[in-house]
Amino acid sequence: MRIVIAGGHGQIALRLERLLAKRGDEVAGIIRRPEQAGDLLAAGAEPVVCDLESASVPDVARHMEGADAAVFAAGAGPGSGTARKETVDRGAAVLFADAAEATGVRRFLVVSSMGADREPPEGTDPVFATYLRAKGAADADVRARAGLDWTILRPGRMTNDPGTGLITLADATGRGEVSRDDVAATLVALLDEPGTVGRTLELIGGDVPVEDAVRAVANH
């Protein structure tokens, strides 16, 4: 497959690029800064410099021609203020979905966040609350599109612990942690499983092997 990943230099994306390249897929990662290219090349991915905060739909669509799938794994990241949650976590996701539809790339995965489907609890840090609302708005936009075979993945609190390959994946899992390694492995399995189209899934660490967990959800 040829897969285009938005947020190509992110922690999830770099792991995902390594996994996909290792199994022989062709991977392109969209990055904002040219100096990030070396890390993508080392992961086996083709670096594509394109700023999703200022690009047009045709700009992005040009990089998606001929792809079999697209993964939105971009985020404004820690330390960014409320304005960039809106331009990246919501705006860039909508732009990326527009570009996918424009080029006929149907398979579309989104790395979202647990809690994005409800109003943040009182007392939530204002920037984090803005982030959750932006992710929720982006998810709602993607879910409304008939032109995409979408799956939305909402991991719990992510860690840099080594992956175990064992997860809990369901419509609702409850709170929990999950390693970024296991998030990336789950995305690979979701790409391969058309039975997960149209599903919004929560993910935390667990005791079921990734491929079995994805297959079980697809058959449910």
Q: What residues are annotated to the active site? A: 131
Question: What count of residues does the chain have?
Answer: 220
Pairing status of strand 26-31 against strand 46-49: parallel
- AA letter at 72: F
Q: E strand or H helix at 134, and its extent?
A: helix 126-143
Contact between 111 and 48 (Cβ < 8 Å): no
Find where tokens 């982006």 sit: 138
Chain CA centroid to CA 6, Å: 8
Contact between 108 and 69 (Cβ < 8 Å): yes
Distance CA 50, CA 29 (A): 10
Q: Which of 213, 97, 99, 208 is nearest to 150 (CA)?
A: 97
The DSSP output letter for 34 is G
- AA letter at 197: V
CA angle 26, 98, 78 (to 5 degrees): 75
